[in-house]
Amino acid sequence: MAGEFLAVVKGLWDGWADDAIVADRGSGLYIDPAKLRPIDHDGAFFKVKGPLNIGRSPQGHPVVLQAGGSEAGQALAARTADIVFSVVQDIDEAKAGYASLKTRLPSFGRRPETSRCCRA
């Protein structure tokens, strides 16, 4: 369900091209309809037509945070997350989880060398 949810919200965030808002008072054209992309998602958990009723934010997407150490959670994090939370209390287990996450990144077109770990 989480994977489908992220696919839906990312589709909605990408529903407007960066230059979709024309705001041309002379022609009266505010939005270029060719630059709107409805997602027409009909999945197992969500049915969403889109696009959003607001333009794209300047940064494009908000930061995606993910928490969950299960196999499914690690796969979702490797595919989608900008930040991954872990509640592991054992440092060796935390290191193993981090290494496991990094090995999953290439299968989703992400580069492990660009990921970093920090401790609180």
pLDDT tens-digit series, residues 47-61: 999 888 887 888 888
Beta strands per DSSP E along 37-77: 41-42, 47-48, 65-67
CA atoms of 6 and 48, how far apart (whole Å): 12
100 contact partners, CB below 8 Å, separation of at least 6? 74
SS3 47: strand
pTM over 0.85: no
Name the residue type at position 44.
A
- pLDDT for 59: 85
Ranges of residues in the chain with a pLDDT under 70 are 115-120
Domain boundaries, the chain: 2-48, 65-114
Kindly calculate the radius of gyration of the chain based on its CA atoms and give it in whole angstroms. Answer: 19
